Amino acid sequence: MRKPIRMSILAIAAVVAVVGCNSATATPTATPTATPAPATATPTPAAPGAATPTPAPTTFSAGTDDGTKLTMWTRAATQARAEPLVAAYNASHKNQVSLTIVPTDDYNTKVGTAAAANGLPDVLSGDVVFMPNWTSAGLFQDLTAKINALPFKDSIAPGAIKASTWDNKEYGLPFVMDLSVWMYNKKLFTQAGLDPNKPPTTLAEFQADATKIGKLGGNIHGTFFGGNCGGCNVFTWWPIIWADEQQVMSPDGKTSLLNGDDAKAVYKAFAQMVSDGTALMPDSKTEAGPTWTGYFPKGNIGIMPMPASLAGVANAALADSDIGVTPIAGVNGGTATFVGGDAIAITKDSKNADQAWNFISWIQSDDAQVNVIAKPASQGGLGAVVSRSDLANNKYSSSDPRLVMFNSIAAKGQTPFAVNFNAAFNDPQSPWIVLLRDAVFNNADSAKIDSDNNAITATLQGK
């Protein structure tokens, strides 16, 4: 009788050894929840007059700068822009922000588990599309009064604030802005007999130009897209639909409209570019996101959507003077962009709300916007899009008309709003990836697209 008992203990031990290591995904929120919730203990209301409406914008300061150590998380995707911003703040303030970079794919997981465990940092930056999910779950402190007291409130790009608004309370501000544009290779345009100064102004022209460049042959391809990446095509295809004044979702983010006429026209155009060899294959079919912006700088792609940033695009294979940019156009004309990037907010777990406000309001100031964000990478800045419309024309942007264009389209952009955005669109198993792959690679008919679209609606509604 002794042997079976020993064996069953051994069996349990083996399961412990193997499951113990692997079941971590199922349990991480379980243990830390034992800590009592201090969420309500944090003082939130803005002190009257906390924001000082100083006339000289470079000396703008709000909140408290008393040498507090602040913690902040951001995702790896925004690391290149977050680090210089934080470094510039730390260099000019007594407060010191300690930045933690989290792998992009794991960001939601980390935020989710930390939120349940009351372990969020003082300041959290996150993809604007995830904000409704977090604000609806009460992750942040109400900043409405503080934001309204900002002297330049009206010129802050509304996308991030709108995405961070829940129940008429504003919880976040823009951190870094990411817009989508069409980027084209002027050298390949010339080689294909196209005018490099006449970029496409409709989807049909985009397709025609790409097809013509694709015919150059060799290792030159008309276009490229991340066909296994939900987020990439949210970012780059939805503006084509918006440019035509059509919508991708109902305003409450509960019904998907991605089976509309314009949406189907977009799928059809890309399906044709796949089947006639204009799009780089098989990479366009397999690209799941991590390397989708790495193709254009190789210099052999004619035209493709890219984030609106020139940083790191030019290299030995692609001269800076050959990089052309133009706003994303609609099926029938018009232009639009996806106002993405990160919003920044003060979490429910922060006990340093006034100091954190000093940091996140500084990001909106002239100093940060112009001297860090707009300043070209060659001069030690970020060379990125500013999040204030009154600073669109600044001393740096005027040197490059492409930067002026980037800054000017933000106003025509949209930021989609849905509580279940990640599950519906960004996740690798999302129903949106099923739809786009069915439509572009599997020749799905209209009825199949409609039923795939219903699956997106179900996910948006949390079913």
Partner 1 sequence: MTSAAPAREVGSGRRLTAKRTRQLVGFFYALPTLVYVICFFIIPVILVAWMSAHGCKLLTCTIPNPGQLNLPDNYSSVSGNDLFWPAVFFTIEYTVLATVLLIGMGLGLALLVQKGGRWVSVLRTSFLVPGALGLATASLLFWGVYSGAIGPFNPLMDGLNSLGTQLGLVTQTSQISFLGSPNTALLSTTVLIVWKYAGFYMIILLVGLQAIPRDVYEAASIDGASRWQTFRFITLPLLRPSIALSMILCITGSLLAFDQFYVLTKGGPDNTTVTLVQLIYREAFIRQNLGTAAAVSIIVLVALFLLNALQFRGLRGNVAD
Chain residues in the site for partner 1 (CB under 8 A): 3-4, 7-8, 10-16, 18-20, 22-23, 25-27, 29-31, 33-34, 37, 108-109, 112-113, 115-116, 133-134, 137-139, 218-219, 228, 281-283, 285-288, 291, 294-295, 420, 422-423, 427-429, 433-434, 437, 459, 462
Phi/psi for 346 (5° steps) reads: -100, 130
Q: What is the DSSP string of 261-277?
A: HHHHHHHHHHHHHHHTT
Phi-psi region of 154 (alpha: psi -120 to 50; beta: other; left: phi over 0): alpha
> Closer CB to partner 1, residue 68 or residue 459?
459
Of 211, 225, 214, 220, residue with least CA distance to 283? 225
Q: Are 208 and 233 in contact (CB under 8 A)?
A: no
Q: Helices in 137-260 by DSSP H: which ranges?
A: 144-148, 158-163, 186-191, 203-214, 230-243
Minimum Å gap between C-beta 76 and partner 1 is 13
> Closer CB to partner 1, residue 117 or residue 177?
117
Q: Hey, what amino acid is at 177?
A: M
> Closer CB to partner 1, residue 62 or residue 124?
124
> Closer CB to partner 1, residue 95 or residue 300?
300
Minimum Å gap between C-beta 223 and partner 1 is 15
Q: Where do we find the tokens 């913690």?
A: 71
Report the alpha-carbon distance of residue 236 to residue 182 in Å, rounded: 9
> Closer CB to partner 1, residue 134 or residue 206?
134
> Closer CB to partner 1, residue 220 or residue 382?
220
DSSP state of 422: I
185 bridge partner residues: 323
Q: Are 399 and 383 in contact (CB under 8 A)?
A: no
Minimum Å gap between C-beta 195 and partner 1 is 28
Sort 107 into a burial class: Cβ within 10 Å, 0-12 / 13-18 / 19+. Answer: buried
User: Strand (E) positions, 2-152?
Assistant: 69-75, 96-102, 123-127
Of 317, 457, 350, 311, residue with least CA distance to 114? 350
> Closer CB to partner 1, residue 27 or residue 40?
27
What is the rounded (10 degree) CA torsion for 221, 223, 226, 228? -70
> Closer CB to partner 1, residue 22 or residue 40?
22
Minimum Å gap between C-beta 124 and partner 1 is 13
Report the alpha-carbon distance of residue 28 to residue 348 in Å, rounded: 20
> Closer CB to partner 1, residue 62 or residue 120?
120
Minimum Å gap between C-beta 436 and partner 1 is 11
Minimum Å gap between C-beta 207 and partner 1 is 22
Minimum Å gap between C-beta 354 and partner 1 is 25
Minimum Å gap between C-beta 54 and partner 1 is 38
> Closer CB to partner 1, residue 8 or residue 54?
8
> Closer CB to partner 1, residue 203 or residue 304?
304
Residue 80: C-alpha distances to residues 94, 345, 394 (Å): 23, 19, 22
Minimum Å gap between C-beta 240 and partner 1 is 24
What b-and-e string marks burial along 23-52, b requiring 16 or more CB atoms within 10 Å of the CB? Answer: eeeeebeeeeeeeeeeeeeeebebeeebbe
Of 259, 191, 272, residue with least CA distance to 434? 259
Minimum Å gap between C-beta 47 and partner 1 is 29
Of 342, 369, 357, 359, residue with least CA distance to 97? 359
Minimum Å gap between C-beta 421 and partner 1 is 11
DSSP state of 223: B
